[in-house]
């Protein structure tokens, strides 16, 4: 078992940060060739997704889509003023599991792993656990 906590710095209020390289490095440093990589975001206004990393317009369109689901202005009561971020975080979820084969995360040709910031910019954490199977 290998557990790591990585620092993730986001630079806008809402942002999908491609962390595929960071995750690949973490898997590589674990030395696990065949196994499972578990990713967890310990935050209530951020999340994780695996989606297209070829055309940047996809991420842009997803952010627009999320804004239409939970607009910045609305009939919210939460005094912190970041209810849309909590909603988006819950929709996206805080965890992902990726298989490891040949010492690398198994991803489709067009897939990347994204840290989803919904209330940035902030200094965030990403917990990674790599296990041999």
Residues that bind Zn ion in the complex, under the rule CB under 5 A: 80, 82
Instruction: In angstroms, give the least distance from the CB of 89 to Zn ion.
Output: 10
When the beta carbons of 68 and 79 are compared against Zn ion, the nearer one is 79
Helix or strand holding residue 86 (H, E): helix 83-92
- Angle, vertex CA 24, rays to CA 34 and CA 1, nearest 5: 50
Residue (26 or 70) nearer to Zn ion, CB? 70
Least Å from the CB of residue 129 to Zn ion: 27
Work out how close the CB of 69 gets to Zn ion at its nearest, in angstroms, rounded to a whole number.
17
Smallest gap from Cβ 19 to Zn ion, in A, equals 23
Cβ closest to Zn ion, residue 80 vs residue 101: 80
For residue 86, give Cα distances in angstroms to 25, 81, 103, 126, 130. Answer: 29, 10, 34, 17, 28
Measured distance between the N- and C-terminal CA atoms of the chain, rounded to whole angstroms:
10
Query: Which residue's Cβ lies closest to Zn ion?
Result: 80
| Residue 22 vs 43, nearer CB to Zn ion | 43
Which residues on adjacent β-strands are paired with residue 125?
A: 7
């Amino acid at each position: 078992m290998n557990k790591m906590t990585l620092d993730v710095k986001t630079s806008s209020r809402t942002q999908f940060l491609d962390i595929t390289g960071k995750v690949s490095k973490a898997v590589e440093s674990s030395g696990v060739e065949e196994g499972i990589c578990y990713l967890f975001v310990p935050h209530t206004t951020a999340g994780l997704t695996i989606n297209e990393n070829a055309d940047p317009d996809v991420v842009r369109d997803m952010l627009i889509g999320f804004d239409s689901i939970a607009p910045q202005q609305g009939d919210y009561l939460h005094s912190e003023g970041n209810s849309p971020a909590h909603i988006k975080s819950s929709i996206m979820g805080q965890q992902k599991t990726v298989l490891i084969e040949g010492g690398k995360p198994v991803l489709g040709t067009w897939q990347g792993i994204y840290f989803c910031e919904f209330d940035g910019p902030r200094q965030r954490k990403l917990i990674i656990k790599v296990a041999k199977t």
